[in-house]
Structure 1
């Protein structure tokens, strides 16, 4: 994407927010410096685009805060050429960052207005229920959730490639924790979260009664 008047602010965000809290992956840092986050927000929020906050882009729908997204992508170890599904891609920012990292991205969104925002920013999206994933593009090497979840639905778990992983903020007992790793055969995280992390909930991904992380 072309340079915008916000380029200096993006670089400041990278230097003062990401690098100082453990984001060291050169590709992730370069992608955050390059992709214009302000292009994926309503005009009234453009001036706040680089703030370390989750911004609301539609009622009840948010972009993850830059630091949360950067840490998830770093721990996920995104590699060029991987097939990635973004669940709840909203206005397309995380999908754009993943594409900058060289991934082949499927951006799944259920809100028509958000799909229009994403496409206006140059990110094509597919439309469907978030909880169903997008089987047409499966299997995926990585599935990123754009918001906190309490459980991975069976439909989405089935779309993960052997050896694939998810990247998500897991909501456990009211606390969000970042996780990037594989799932067990029953669709639950196979490892431990790596850090406490705040994120708004992604609608539709509440904890089923029979599951516990």
Structure 2
């Protein structure tokens, strides 16, 4: 895997595009500069790796638009050392972005094919998140509580297990809705049974699968 000067220049152009779209969190922009998106795509997509489009990555899943990744990450308001639960490792690109910011990441992937493929790429970049193959609806209680939880697939509802695993003061970012369109939602846990809910418009994600891993 080679990260050339050309790739780095393309990343900076993408960052400028993200800024024009309203992404101004410097931690997020710096993370996009550090993580080579083309590592997470098939070589045939190399020339399009830094355009703001999504790509198929196998198992019926996609790597999200860079803007979507940046937008969701910005909503988390991460600080170095925050413990983050990611539901849907996918290609591993979002996982690497979280790691580049300095978060301590726990990530769960339901598709075995993607779980196996993402791990060596993330390791090659020098990051060491805790990666698991399993059911994202259940979260990962053994690492809870989390400062933030990020769901990177369309959820038909908000799983209670995820709400329970969030710290008071923590943020849960989740796209809620059926196939084709979801509403980006951020829940802030104000108390054990007190929540603030905010919405940020329509997005499109692949559906969140509810099956126990075997």
Task: Place the TM-score, normalised by the shorter chain, in its bin.
Answer: 0.7 to 0.9
Equivalence for 1:211? none
CA distance in 2 between counterparts of 1:94 and 1:15 reads: 19
Instruction: Note closer, same or farther for the CA distance 1:187–1:19 as it changes in structure 2 (3 Å cut).
Output: farther
How big is each residue's C-alpha offset from its partner over 1:35-59, in whole Å with a ceiling of 9 and x where there is no partner?
Answer: 0111112333333222222222122
Instruction: Give the CA deviation at 1:92.
Output: 1.1
Q: 5+ unaligned residues in a row in structure 1: which ranges?
A: 206-213
How many pairs were matched up?
204
Instruction: Give the CA deviation at 1:3.
Output: 4.1
- Contact 1:152/1:188 (8 A) holds in 2: no
TM-score by length of 2: 0.84
Secondary structure of the 2:81 match is coil
Deviates more, 1:148-157 or 1:19-28: 148-157
CA distance in 2 between counterparts of 1:172 and 1:183 reads: 24
CA distance in 1 between counterparts of 2:205 and 2:107 reads: 19
Equivalence for 2:165? 159
CA distance in 2 between counterparts of 1:189 and 1:62 reads: 31
Equivalence for 2:152? 146
Instruction: Give the CA deviation at 1:101.
Output: 0.5
- Contact 1:80/1:101 (8 A) holds in 2: yes
Instruction: Note closer, same or farther for the CA distance 1:70–1:121 as it changes in structure 2 (3 Å cut).
Output: same
TM-score by length of 1: 0.84
Equivalence for 1:72? 72
CA distance in 2 between counterparts of 1:78 and 1:93 reads: 17
- Contact 1:175/1:196 (8 A) holds in 2: yes
RMSD between superposed Cα atoms in Å:
2.7
Instruction: Note closer, same or farther for the CA distance 1:112–1:175 as it changes in structure 2 (3 Å cut).
Output: closer
Equivalence for 1:20? 20
CA distance in 1 between counterparts of 2:32 and 2:41 reads: 15
1:82-101 aligned within 5 A: 82-101=82-101
